[in-house]
Amino acid sequence: MTVVRTIAALRAEVAAWRRRGETLALVPTMGALHEGHLALMREGLRRADRVVVSIFVNPTQFSPEEDLARYPRQEARDRDTLSKVGQCLLFAPTVAEMYPEGFSTRVSVAGVSEGLCGAFRPVHFCGVATVVTKLLLQTLPDVAVFGEKDYQQLQVIRRLVTDLDIPVRVVGVPTVREADGLALSSRNASLSAPERSRATALYQILQETSAAVTLGVAPNAAAAAAVDRLLAAGFTPLEYLEVRDAHTLAPLTGPLIRPARVLAAAWMGRTRLIDNVAIEPPGTSGS
């Protein structure tokens, strides 16, 4: 596997592919790769001749009290993992390469960044928006692939790509789950055995909330019931569980007539878990 660590080296590789008329997919990651990331890479391989996987633990999307220093870094193992799936170029820049001295530009997205995770991680989405803009403009891929697990992040990226006219197609890939439904996450490894057992309730409750709303239960009532069940299942603190418009992430007002999403973030012991499930408007499913 070829590994490049500078923007200049990345661009030289991409330029060589472009001269041969090849297409290109970018899969941005923070490393600590698991099957969820590999699903993104497989999607990239299906959609383009070449795949660039980036591994960069972006400091600007962590707030000072968050776990930047403890975020797992295991590039050698990640390279092995990627090589089992197929060919890709690994772009693994340093912090100094991404943010040299004097760096002072920020990309921020109003609306879709607000509330949900944005309310609990105030600098997070500005950091994500800025680094993803940089990665997209460094690589200029045809397609960029992101997971639906970080659903609000995906909508933030869709918004900034549209708004800034970045010439790339953003593709979202459904969340990869364990057999019992728990969404794959590098943070799952820090759950104790009893916590891991209880954690499965998150996806179950989100699924059942989605089904209830599609059957006609008012979103607010369904969400309130789900909050009670999550707390009873041992998720504390519960940061949020909300039903939102699937595209704008705006709070719902009135009856559900467009696709929605139920999203939650909650702590199981010392581990923060997030997940989300699609909701079809009443009368549109089961056909």
At 177, give phi and psi (nearest 5°): -125, 155
140 vs 238, beta carbon nearer its own copies: 140
- CA 175 from centroid of its chain's CA atoms: 9
Q: Which of residues 158-197 bind its own copies (CB under 8 A)?
A: 159-160, 163-167
Select 135 or 202, whichever has its Cβ closest to its own copies. 135
Residues near its own copies (CB under 8 A), total: 28
Span interacting with its own copies, options 46-54, 96-104, 174-182, 270-278, rule CB under 8 A? 96-104
8 A C-beta contact, residue 243 and residue 278: no
Spatial CA neighbour of 147 closest among 172, 168, 125:
172
Residue 6 sits in the site that holds its own copies (CB under 8 A):
no
If one asks whether residue 102 binds its own copies (CB under 8 A), the answer comes out as: yes
Q: Which of 3, 4, 36 is nearest to 184 (CA)?
A: 36
Phi, psi angles (nearest 5°) of residue 44: -60, -45
Of the residues 24, 33, 40, 112, which one makes contact with its own copies according to CB under 8 A: 112
Whether 247 is catalytic: no
Shortest separation between residue 102's beta carbon and its own copies, angstroms: 7
- How many Å apart are CA 2 and CA 142, to the nearest integer? 20
Nearer to its own copies by Cβ, of 10 and 264: the residue is 10
With CB under 8 A as the contact rule, the residue among 33, 90, 107, 128 that binds its own copies is 107
Q: Which residue is catalytic, options 34, 37, 124, 247?
A: 37
**238: helix, strand or coil:** strand
Please say which residue, 20 or 70, places its beta carbon nearer to its own copies. 20
If one counts every other C-beta atom within 10 angstroms of the C-beta of residue 133, the result is 18
Q: Which amino acid is at 55?
A: I
Query: CB under 8 A: which stretch of 42-50, 101-109, 205-213, 221-229 binds its own copies?
Result: 101-109
Strand locations in 149-237 (E) = 169-173
Q: Write phi, then psi, for 65 (nearest 5 degrees).
A: -90, 0
Which positions are annotated as active-site residues? 37
Residues lying near its own copies in the complex (CB under 8 A) are found at 7, 11, 102-112, 129-130, 133-134, 137-138, 140, 159-160, 163-167, 248
